[in-house]
Amino acid sequence: MLRLGKREFGPHEPVIMAIVNRTPDSFYDQGATFRDEPALTRVERAVAEGAAIVDIGGVKAGPGEEVSAEEEARRTVGFVAEVRRRFPDVIISVDTWRAEVGEAVCEAGADLLNDAWGGVDPGLAEVAARYGVGLVCTHAGGAQPRTRPHRVTYDDVMADILNVTLGLAERAVSLGVPRESVLIDPGHDFGKNTRHSLEATRRLDEMVATGWPVLVSLSNKDFVGESLDRPVKERLIGTLATTAVSAWLGAQVYRVHEVAETRQVLDMVTAIAGHRTPTVARRGLA
């Protein structure tokens, strides 16, 4: 059972996490939700389309202009509080690697801390424990925040992913983070080249077999673009194909830009797997 905020999810219940970037230079939307009202509209639409979680980020993942902790908090804390006020039942996640930002957003009402940089600030897990919120434990290959991989190598990429994420997850629980609120993430593109991310995808069942809920952040990423030689705005089909494979292999949470399309893919895969009945069943019965 995965428990986040006020919600509980069964083992075969896929969960959508909608991306809400509070940055002026995000790789996908170039700041479309940097201002409050467009960002709140994004939250409203994402929830209506089937997202249970909104993931709010105040710093672009890739290299760019330096963003201090104070500026990151300015972009996220007040917005978290407003989302909490307007959408009391939505699960609020914040994408941050900094403990001080994590503290501030938990005070404002966040339910989940999405640590995409693999525990680079050990204090973030301590914050999650102190507030009793969830934590995403990600493999980033030892990369520092906002850096791109350069000639990175692994003897066995999945072995490294498992070693890092399981270690982070067990440490989080030992600190007091609720076990049912901890997720592990292979960290596609983070500290990895395209071949590493493809291998992590096809071996995703090894992560699922650990018993920890698996989160995947696949949406429009470079490994999809390089696999198909497509720019950012033409990666939806590749993203959805990767989503379907990940769902079949047992991933549970999907961090995405396109909520409605992802919802259909996940509903179809769970129907094929026998975990969900068809929405209608008229064929051959009339």
From the candidates 22, 75, 221, 235, give the one annotated as an active-site residue. Answer: 221
154 burial via Cβ count (<10 Å: 0-12, 13-18, 19+)? middle
The sign of the torsion formed by the CA atoms of 166, 138, 260, 18 equals positive
**What DSSP assignment string belongs to 86-152?**
H-TTSEEEEE---HHHHHHHHHHT--EEEETTSSSSTHHHHHHHHHT-EEEEE--TTPPTT----S-
> Considering 35, 255, 263, 283, which one is annotated as catalytic?
255
| Residue 146 a catalytic site member | no
Distance CA 85, CA 213 (A): 28
Catalytic (active site) residue 221: yes
Residues tagged active-site: 221, 255
